[in-house]
Amino acid sequence: MNPQIHISKTYPVTGMSCASCAARTETLVKSLPGISRASVNFADTSLYVDFNPHSITASEIKKAVQSIGYDLIVDETGADKKKDEAFNDHLRSLKFNTISSAILTIPVVIISMFFMDIPYANFIMLAMVIPVLFWFGRQFPVNAIKQLRHHSANMDTLVTLSTGIAFIYSTVVTLAGRWLSEKGFHGHVYFEASAVIITFILFGRFLEEKAKSKTSSALKKLIGLQVRSAILVNDSGEQKEVPVSSVMPGDILLVRPGNKIPVDGSVLSGSSFVDESMITGEPMPVEKVMQSKVYAGTLNQKGSFRFRAEKVGGDTVLSQIIKLVSEAQGSKAPVQHLVDKVAGIFVPVVIIIALLSGIIWILSGAENALIHSLMAIVTVLIIACPCALGLATPTAIMVGIGKGAENGILIKDAESLETAHKVNAVVFDKTGTITTGKPVVHGLEWRDKDDPAKYGNLLFNIQKNSEHPVAEPVARYLEQTAANLNDIPVKVESIAGRGIKASFNEQSFLVGNRKLLEENGISTGPGLESIAEKWQKQAKTVSFFSDMKEAIAVIAVSDTIKESSLPTIRKLLDLGIEVHMLTGDNELSAGAVADAAGIHSFKAGLLPKDKYDYIRQLQSEGKVVAMAGDGINDSQALAQADVSIAMGRGSDIAMDTAKMTIISSDLSRIPKAIRLSKLTVATIKQNLFWAFIYNIISIPIAAGILYPVNGFLLNPMIAGAAMALSSVSVVSNSLRLKLKKI
Catalytically active residues, by annotation? 429
Strand order in the sheet with 35-41: 35-41, 46-51, 7-14, 71-72
Residues 638-642: contacts with CB within 8 Å, 24+ apart?
A: 639/218, 639/324, 639/325, 639/328, 639/329, 640/324, 640/328, 640/612, 640/615, 640/616, 641/427, 641/615, 642/419, 642/422, 642/423
Number of H-type helices and E-type strands within the chain: 27, 25
Task: Give me the phi and psi of 558, to 5 degrees please.
Answer: -155, 160
Is the separation of the CB atoms in 484 and 530 below 8 Å? no
Q: How many angstroms separate the CA atoms of 509 and 523, rounded?
A: 13
Ramachandran region, residue 153 (left: φ > 0; alpha: ψ -120 to 50; beta: rest): beta
Q: How many angstroms separate the CA atoms of 216 and 206, rounded?
A: 17
SS3 704: coil
Q: How many angstroms separate the CA atoms of 681 and 667, rounded?
A: 22
SS3 366: coil
Q: Which helix H or strand E contains 626, and what residues bound it?
A: strand 625-629
Q: How many angstroms separate the CA atoms of 35 and 663, rounded?
A: 42
Buried b (16+ CB within 10 A) or exposed e, 617-646: ebeeeebbbbbbbbbbbbbbbbbbbbbbbb
Sequence-separated (6 or more) residues with CB below 8 Å from residue 399: 680, 683, 734, 735, 737, 738
Helix axes 191-212, 79-114, angle to 10 degrees: 150
Q: How many angstroms separate the CA atoms of 703 and 716, rounded?
A: 11
Q: How many angstroms separate the CA atoms of 31 and 96, rounded?
A: 37
Q: How many angstroms separate the CA atoms of 145 and 30, rounded?
A: 23
Q: How many angstroms separate the CA atoms of 408 and 636, rounded?
A: 24
Pairing verdict, β 601-603 and 578-582: parallel
Is the separation of the CB atoms in 131 and 104 below 8 Å? yes
Q: How many angstroms separate the CA atoms of 126 and 121, rounded?
A: 9
Is the separation of the CB atoms in 277 and 258 below 8 Å? no
Q: How many angstroms separate the CA atoms of 202 and 141, rounded?
A: 13
User: With the C-alpha atoms ordered 633, 84, 74, 78, is the resulting torsion angle positive or negative?
Assistant: negative
Is the separation of the CB atoms in 575 and 671 below 8 Å? yes
Q: How many angstroms separate the CA atoms of 103 and 198, rounded?
A: 12
Q: How many angstroms separate the CA atoms of 26 and 41, rounded?
A: 9
Is the separation of the CB atoms in 8 and 29 below 8 Å? no
Q: Which amino acid is at 724?
A: A
DSSP tag of 438: S
Q: Which amino acid is at 246?
A: S
